C-alpha cells in the first residue's frame, strides 16, 4: 500500500510541474551567438572548464538555463548570459543543442 501511495504521489507531483515548451532548433541556431564563445556552435566546450552541451537532453538544458536566469543556480558568466533570455529563447536554444547528434564510443 505504501508503494501505491508513493507512486501516486510521484505521478501527482510530475503532473503539476510545468512542461518545457518544445523549442525550434532552427530558431535556436540563430540565437547561439552568445553561447558560441564558450560552448561553440557545435556544443563542444572550447576550454576544459566549459561543458559540452551538444546532444544534452532538452528538458535538462531548459531547466538549467531557467535556473541561471532566476538565480537558483549561479555562475557569473551563465547568470549574466541567461538573465535576458525569454522562455522562447531558452526553449529554442535547448532544442538546438539537444538536436546535435553525438556519437559515444565506450572504452574497451
The domain that holds 61 is classified in CATH as: 1.10.760.10
Query: Is 30 a domain residue?
Result: yes
Whole-number Å distance between alpha carbons of 32 and 23: 13
Query: Is 40 a domain residue?
Result: yes
Query: Is 8 a domain residue?
Result: no
Number of domains in the chain: 1
Query: Is 17 a domain residue?
Result: no
pLDDT of residue 11: 56
Query: Is 45 a domain residue?
Result: yes
Q: Tens place of pLDDT for every residue, the chain, 108 residues?
A: 665 555 555 555 554 445 556 899 999 999 999 999 999 999 999 999 999 999 999 999 999 999 999 999 999 999 999 999 999 999 999 999 999 999 999 999
* Cell numbers representing residue 57 in the block: 537532453
- DSSP H or E segment with residue 13: helix 2-16
Query: Is 7 a domain residue?
Result: no
Amino acid at each position: 500500500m505504501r508503494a501505491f501511495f508513493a507512486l501516486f504521489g510521484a505521478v501527482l507531483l510530475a503532473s503539476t510541474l510545468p512542461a518545457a515548451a518544445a523549442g525550434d532548433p532552427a530558431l535556436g541556431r540563430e540565437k547561439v551567438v552568445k553561447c558560441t564563445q564558450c560552448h561553440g556552435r557545435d556544443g563542444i566546450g572550447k576550454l576544459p572548464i566549459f561543458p559540452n552541451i551538444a546532444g544534452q537532453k532538452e528538458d535538462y538544458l531548459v531547466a538549467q538555463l531557467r535556473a541561471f536566469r532566476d538565480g537558483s543556480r549561479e555562475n557569473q558568466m551563465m547568470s549574466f548570459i541567461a538573465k535576458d533570455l525569454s522562455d522562447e529563447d531558452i526553449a529554442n536554444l535547448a532544442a538546438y543543442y539537444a538536436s546535435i547528434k553525438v556519437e559515444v564510443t565506450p572504452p574497451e
